[in-house]
Amino acid sequence: MSDEFQLMGKRALVTGATRGLGRAMAEGLARAGARVVITGRKQDACDNAAKEIAATTGQEVIGMACHMGDWNQIDRLSDEIDSRFGALDILVNNAGINPAFMPVCDITSEFFDKLYAVNVKGPMRLAARVAPKMGAAGGGSIINVITVGAYVGGPGIGAYSSSKAALLNLTKVMATEWASQGIRVNALAPGPFMTDMMRGAAANLPAFSEATKNATLQKRIADPSEIVGSVLYLASDASSFVTGEDLRVTGGMSAS
Ligand SMILES: NC(=O)c1ccc[n+]([C@@H]2O[C@H](COP(=O)([O-])OP(=O)(O)OC[C@H]3O[C@@H](n4cnc5c(N)ncnc54)[C@H](OP(=O)(O)O)[C@@H]3O)[C@@H](O)[C@H]2O)c1
């Protein structure tokens, strides 16, 4: 690996990394040399994933349970990271949910609040807790995972896609507020990847995965491992002059 992509000695946190894209990202960061904290909602799932990633990469990987929709749990997570791990160099706000397709007329108050709590409020709070220490330690990289749907919306995904559009906007706000502390903040917008989220969507709407696949230029749904290069780029010095930007990893999906 060329020097700009090395992460030796760096400390990273990836939320929602017990499986799916977060798990692939955590493995990729560890392989590049970072020590990694991973989160999910349940401690045993975090411990199992951490143990497996540590075994395959030879890096220190710690699992810490944290529900990203719970402000107090997020504060506790950041306190625990401070005491057990130290200031972070890399934060990947990856955890996100889209529990159901829901036309706007059917969206309930509870559904909307739950989705925005996990997809917007949680990542914002975590970044707010991480940034001061990251800045005091010399800077770092924050990556907010959105979706290609944040640019275009689509039927049945209004709560989800608008929450990710809000996170995209917050990414740009954070980048302006923290640039002077050496913190870069960027959004990563995946297209279709074969994870439990995609399998759930396909089960709810059988035509979904076929339509999504056909909307890419490559006519396929990606493997989670294909997100790793983009995360390493945004996390490392390879993107040292990139902040307040959004990177689409979509196999050529149109975003307009
Ligand atoms: N897959 C795609 O095609 C696709 C496309 C565009 C964007 N994305 C975005 O990419 C990110 C990852 O998606 P994915 O497909 O990998 O999802 P996934 O397969 O459903 O995995 C989600 C991960 O987040 C964790 N998680 C779920 N709810 C959580 C909560 N409330 N608090 C903390 N952790 C939670 C899960 O762990 P536990 O169950 O152990 O808690 C799991 O590790 C999401 O932000 C998603 O919106 C995905």
Closest protein CA for atom 45 of ligand 1: 96
Reading the block at residue 169, the tokens are 């906007």
- Give pLDDT tens digits for 195-252: 999 999 888 888 888 899 999 999 999 999 999 999 999 999 999 999 999 999 999 9
Cα separation, 35 vs 86, whole angstroms: 11
Tell which phi-psi region holds residue 41, choosing left (phi > 0), alpha (psi between -120 and 50) or beta. alpha
Distance 180 CA to ligand 1 centre (A): 31
Domains of the chain: 3-194+225-248 (3.40.50.720)
Question: Is it the case that residue 256 has pLDDT exceeding 80?
Answer: no
Cα separation, 103 vs 93, whole angstroms: 26
Confidence of residue 255 (pLDDT cuts 50, 70, 90): low
Quick one: which atom of ligand 1 is closest to the CA of 196? 19
Spell out the residues 6+ positions from residue 54 whose beta carbon is closer than 8 angstroms to its own. 30, 60, 61
Distance 197 CA to ligand 1 centre (A): 7
Q: Considering only the C-alpha atoms of the chain, give the largest distance between any 2 of them, rounded to a whole number of Å.
A: 51
In the DSSP assignment, the letter for residue 106 is G
Beta-strand relationship, 61-65 and 11-14: unpaired
Which pTM value belongs to this model?
0.98
- Give pLDDT tens digits for 108-148: 999 999 999 999 999 999 999 999 999 999 999 999 999 99
Q: Could you list the active site residues? A: 160
